[in-house]
């Protein structure tokens, strides 16, 4: 879980970095070009296979782990004081992960499928910069985030992501055997910062498009 | 010092044996001194029950000074009760208020079947120890105790891990009923010291294997075990167990 988790964290960083280009207020030009690079570069496309594999392993392992662990206490406690010895999000990783999985399916249906299987769900609008035609993924974003329900779903899902990361980031290191008095404070603070900044940036994207804060 | 008499209601798990279904039963205890330990309060209740011809409550206990690891009660949802770093026998009644209702349950885990009332079978831990929690000592002339130099920091870490009394509060507290804190403490105390080196990799492999066979859950790093451990065994030991296991599994020829 830890290994695939850290791999997916590195993906989040890249994904968030590229999407944050929309905040440059250039009508999505930089973002569209960056997305074009990600969609056409052979190395990135190969890495994408690894990403799906990592994601699949993480999901299957997580679901199996949750299912297995739930069976280990056939008779539950009548009084449970779990909140006095651990964080709710640490105990709810299976639930948070399932919410993220549902979000992921919807999210990929919203964007990824339009780029990869346009024949099935309809392609993306196009735009021309300096005589070269690009997919206008930004226009697609603007279109998607006109709907208030979509915006709410995306923002709520980012809370799930934040709490999932709040446990997952440092937990990944512990699982890999990295627990050292010299590095623990760094892992803890970087993990805390990451869990807030990345989901916050992601959540700001639909919000700022919906409220017309970027052009 | 004031020895306030507490009047309490106890909801205690009663179960005849592993095969029968248990249920909670309510008991009233009166005029309990705040200087009593939780177990002494149970002694008072049991005396009361015996004198009125009723069945006393079965519970595990031995040394009553916090070092044997026998006492095992989940008190108001917390293994060994509300105080941190304390066994049930060292928990005193001043932790409670007059009129409180206290719910007492046995350790709950598939690997710790209830024997009777609050007594659970923890022999799964013994089998894990038998699988590898030992060192081989060659006979011969006794070696001077200080002949083997050991880094003070490592000795301290080994000592802190060896403080584990094997009570099973970690399993009781863990939402997955995982025994990782116990196994990690036992692996650590030997892996850190020179005496533990000969069996170092076979030990971690067999102990983890036995732990899985006993049906304990997987660790998801919630940290509940460390928070409830009466000996405050650190999660650092679980990270060490993970390291020991990974390197043994990758490198050993077994």
Each residue of B52-74: pLDDT tens digit?
999 999 999 999 999 999 999 99
For the segment A41-75, what is each residue's pLDDT rounded down to a tens digit? 999 999 999 999 999 999 999 999 999 999 999 99
For strand B119-120 and strand B114-116, is the pairing parallel, antiparallel, or unpaired? antiparallel
- Selection from B207, B204, B208, B194 nearest residue B244 by Cα: B204
Chain A residues whose CB is inside 8 A of the B12 CB are none
Fold classified for A2-210 = 3 helical TM bundles of succinate and fumarate reductases (1.20.1300)
Which among B222, B229, B249 is the top mutation candidate for probing chain A, defined by the most A β-carbons within 10 Å of its own β-carbon? B222
> Inter-chain contact A69–B78, Cβ cutoff 8 Å?
no
Q: Is A29 exposed, middle or buried (0-12, 13-18, 19+ CB in 10 A)?
A: middle
Chain B residues whose CB is inside 8 A of the A182 CB are none
Dihedral-angle region of residue B112 (phi above 0 means left; psi in -120 to 50 means alpha; beta otherwise): beta
pLDDT over 90 percentage in chain A: 94
pLDDT (mean) for A5-18: 97
Would you state the pLDDT for residue B254?
Answer: 65
> Inter-chain contact A84–B77, Cβ cutoff 8 Å?
yes
Would you state the pLDDT for residue B143?
Answer: 81
- Selection from B185, B228, B182 nearest residue B84 by Cα: B228
pLDDT (mean) for B182-192: 98
B203–chain A nearest CA distance, Å: 17
Number of Cβ pairs < 8 A linking chain A and chain B: 98
Would you state the pLDDT for residue B40?
Answer: 97
Contacts of B185 (CB under 8 A, 6+ apart): B161, B162, B163, B164, B233, B237
Would you state the pLDDT for residue B3?
Answer: 64
pLDDT over 90 percentage in chain B: 90
Would you state the pLDDT for residue B253?
Answer: 76
pLDDT over 70 percentage in chain B: 98
Angle formed at CA B193 by CA B190 and CA B195, multiple of 5 degrees: 80
Q: Where are the domains of chain B?
A: 5-105, 123-251
> Inter-chain contact B217–A86, Cβ cutoff 8 Å?
no
Which among A65, A71, A84 is the top mutation candidate for probing chain B, defined by the most B β-carbons within 10 Å of its own β-carbon? A84
pLDDT (mean) for A167-173: 97
Cβ count near B112 (within 10 Å): 25
- Selection from B69, B70, B87 nearest residue B78 by Cα: B87
CA distance A21 to A14: 11
**Which of A77, A91, A175 is nearest residue B222 as measured by Cβ atoms?**
A91
**Which of B103, B227, B235 is nearest residue A179 as measured by Cβ atoms?**
B235
- Note whether B196 and B135 are within 8 A (CB): yes
CA distance B234 to B211: 19
> Residue B23's closest chain A neighbor by CA?
A78
Confidence of residue B2 (pLDDT cuts 50, 70, 90): low
pLDDT (mean) for A102-119: 93
- Selection from B169, B163, B72 nearest residue A85 by Cα: B169
Would you state the pLDDT for residue A194?
Answer: 98
- Selection from B68, B104, B105, B59 nearest residue B87 by Cα: B68
pLDDT (mean) for B153-158: 96
- Note whether B185 and B233 are within 8 A (CB): yes
Would you state the pLDDT for residue B45?
Answer: 97
pLDDT (mean) for A12-35: 96
Answer yes or no: CATH 1.10.1060.10 is held by domain B123-251. Answer: yes
Confidence of residue B102 (pLDDT cuts 50, 70, 90): very high
Confidence of residue B160 (pLDDT cuts 50, 70, 90): very high
Q: Please provide the average confidence, as pLDDT, over all residues in chain A.
A: 95
Would you state the pLDDT for residue A159?
Answer: 98
CA distance A121 to A113: 7
For residue A35, CA distances in Å to A66, A107, A117, B175 come to: 35, 16, 16, 42
- Is the pLDDT reported for residue B1 higher than 60? no
Least confident piece of the model among A117-121, A139-143, B11-15: A117-121
With residue B237 as reference, give the H or E element that holds it.
helix B236-251
For the segment B108-137, what is each residue's pLDDT rounded down to a tens digit? 999 999 999 999 999 999 999 999 999 988
Would you state the pLDDT for residue A121?
Answer: 87
Would you state the pLDDT for residue B137?
Answer: 82
A53–chain B nearest CA distance, Å: 22
The CATH homologous superfamily of the domain defined by B5-105 = Beta-grasp domain (3.10.20.30)
Would you state the pLDDT for residue B23?
Answer: 97
- Provide Rg for chain B, Cα atoms: 21
**Which of A69, A77, A174 is nearest residue B108 as measured by Cβ atoms?**
A77
């Amino acid at each position: 879980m830890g290994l695939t988790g850290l791999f997916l964290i590195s993906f989040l960083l890249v994904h968030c970095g590229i999407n944050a280009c929309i905040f440059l207020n250039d009508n999505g030009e930089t973002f569209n070009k960056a997305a074009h690079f990600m969609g056409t570069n052979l190395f990135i496309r190969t890495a994408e296979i690894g990403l799906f594999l990592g994601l699949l392993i993480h999901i299957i392992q997580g679901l199996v782990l949750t299912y297995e662990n739930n069976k280990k206490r056939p008779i539950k406690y009548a009084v449970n004081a779990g909140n006095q010895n651990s964080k709710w999000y640490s105990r709810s990783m299976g639930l948070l992960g399932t919410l993220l999985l549902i979000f992921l399916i919807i999210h990929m249906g919203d964007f990824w499928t339009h780029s990869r299987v346009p024949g099935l769900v309809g392609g993306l609008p196009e735009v021309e910069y300096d005589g070269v035609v690009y997919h206008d993924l930004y226009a697609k974003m603007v279109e998607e985030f006109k709907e208030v329900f979509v915006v709410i779903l995306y923002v709520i899902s980012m809370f799930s992501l934040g709490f999932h990361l709040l446990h997952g980031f440092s937990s990944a290191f512990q699982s890999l055997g990295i627990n050292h008095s010299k590095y623990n404070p760094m892992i803890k603070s970087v993990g805390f910062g990451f869990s807030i900044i990345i989901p916050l940036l992601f959540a700001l994207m639909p919000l700022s498009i919906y409220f017309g804060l970027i052009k | 010092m004031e020895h306030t008499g507490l009047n309490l209601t106890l909801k205690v798990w009663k179960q005849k044996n592993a095969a029968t279904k248990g249920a909670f039963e309510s008991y009233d205890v009166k005029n309990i001194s705040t200087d009593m330990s939780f177990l002494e309060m149970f002694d008072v209740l049991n005396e009361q029950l015996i004198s009125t011809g009723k069945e006393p409550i079965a519970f595990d206990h031995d040394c009553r000074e916090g070092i044997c690891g026998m006492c095992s009660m989940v008190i108001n949802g917390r293994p060994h009760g509300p105080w941190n770093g304390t066994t049930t026998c060292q928990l005193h009644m001043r932790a409670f208020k007059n009129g409180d209702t206290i719910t007492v349950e046995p350790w709950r885990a598939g690997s710790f079947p209830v024997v009777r009332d609050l007594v659970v079978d923890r022999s799964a831990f013994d089998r894990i120890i038998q699988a590898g929690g030992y060192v081989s000592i060659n006979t011969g002339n006794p070696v001077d105790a200080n002949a083997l130099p050991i880094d003070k920091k490592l000795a301290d870490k080994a000592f802190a891990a060896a403080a584990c009394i094997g009570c099973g509060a970690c399993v009781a507290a863990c939402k997955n009923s995982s025994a990782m804190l116990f196994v990690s403490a036992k692996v650590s105390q030997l892996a850190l010291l020179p005496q533990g080196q000969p069996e170092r990799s076979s030990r971690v492999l067999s102990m983890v294997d036995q732990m899985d066979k006993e049906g304990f859950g997987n660790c998801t790093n919630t940290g509940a075990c460390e928070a409830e451990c009466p000996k405050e065994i650190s999660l650092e030991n679980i990270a060490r167990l993970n390291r020991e296991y990974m390197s043994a599994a990758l490198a050993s020829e077994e």
